[in-house]
């Protein structure tokens, strides 16, 4: 992780979804970028607040609670919400109501920069043979993908109407290492994710920028030329894991994980 400079620091940075998988990773990595890191989740956060941290539990579906959560913050990294495919009613509360409440609170409290954790599942129904840029028509692969597509629309609206700037990161697969062949293309290392969030927080004049969150993988499906102004230059690659991944039994050619960019999300549900 690169060293911060005075121009790459805010007084109070809000991280939602701080108890989740990526939230736990970013809690440590985002500390240098703020005098105070405010951590929030509906789940309990451990350990308790350390130096230069605040822990504020919050249900994103509660508009008043979110308004109080955002008060006093200078920027927001919004990871909060349901992070997997679930019934629509569950997605509605945390992901759809939640992202609206975050932006309404940002408007009310004068927050001018949001980093929104969007997802590759916004374009999950494209085939793995297709190459996409940020202008590709969205093709969500489930209720989760729909919620992230809605979040990108909210981000655009709040920029056009109130000047709140957002970088929507269409996160691929951010784990310690790729778990399967599909993730060889979608993998995003923690170091590259941290770098991308840093660029998203501090690059001036981003308006609403959509960027694909992937490392410098050999067979990547996404073109980030429309986000070149961020200066994001991933350093890691999934190639170091290729032998391990290719030792796995191959998936059937009819398996969604071998066909669609969104993989198995395209086949989950309905939840009746």
Of 103, 126, 143, 144, which residue is the catalytic one?
144
Give start and end residues of each alpha helix (H) in 163-235.
183-186, 190-202
Helix or strand holding residue 154 (H, E): helix 143-162
Q: How many CB atoms lie within 10 A of CB 213?
A: 27
Contact assessment for residue 177 and residue 239, using Cβ atoms and an 8 Å cutoff: no
Give the list of residues 6+ apart from residue 57 with CB closer than 8 angstroms, or none: 40, 41, 42, 44, 45
Rounded Cα gap, residues 27 and 9, in angstroms: 15
Helix or strand holding residue 149 (H, E): helix 143-162
Give start and end residues of each alpha helix (H) in 3-96.
21-29, 63-70, 88-91
Beta-bridge partner residues of 147: none
Rounded Cα gap, residues 231 and 178, in angstroms: 24
Is residue 144 annotated as a catalytic residue, yes or no? Answer: yes
Rounded Cα gap, residues 24 and 41, in angstroms: 11
Rounded Cα gap, residues 151 and 196, in angstroms: 19
Buried b (16+ CB within 10 A) or exposed e, 214-229: bbebeebbbebeebee
- Report, as residue numbers or ranges, the catalytic residues: 144
């Amino acid at each position: 992780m690169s060293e911060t400079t005075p121009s790459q620091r805010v007084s109070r940075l809000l991280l939602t979804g701080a108890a989740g998988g990526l939230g736990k990773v970013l809690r440590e990595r985002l500390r240098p970028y703020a005098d105070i890191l405010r951590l929030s989740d509906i789940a309990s956060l451990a350990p308790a607040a350390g130096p230069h941290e605040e822990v504020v539990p919050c249900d994103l579906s509660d508009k008043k609670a979110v308004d109080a959560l955002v008060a006093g913050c200078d920027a927001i990294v919004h990871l909060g919400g349901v992070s997997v495919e679930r019934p629509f009613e569950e997605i509605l509360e945390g992901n759809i109501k939640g992202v609206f409440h975050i932006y309404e609170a940002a408007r009310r409290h004068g927050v001018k920069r949001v980093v929104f954790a969007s997802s590759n599942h916004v374009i999950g129904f494209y085939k793995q043979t297709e190459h996409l840029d940020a202008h590709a028509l969205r093709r969500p692969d489930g209720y989760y993908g729909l919620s992230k597509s809605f979040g990108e629309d909210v981000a655009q609206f709040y920029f056009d109407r109130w000047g709140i700037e957002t970088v929507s990161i269409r996160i691929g697969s951010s784990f310690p290492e790729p778990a399967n062949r599909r993730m060889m293309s979608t993998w995003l290392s923690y170091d590259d994710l941290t770098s991308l969030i840093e660029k998203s927080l501090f690059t001036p004049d981003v308006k609403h920028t959509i960027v694909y969150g992937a490392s410098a993988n050999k067979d990547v499906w996404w073109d980030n030329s429309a986000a070149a102004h961020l200066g994001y230059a991933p350093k890691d690659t999934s190639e170091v894991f290729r032998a391990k991944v290719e030792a796995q039994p191959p998936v059937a050619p009819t398996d969604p994980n071998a066909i669609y960019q969104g993989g198995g999300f395209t086949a989950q549900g309905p939840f009746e």
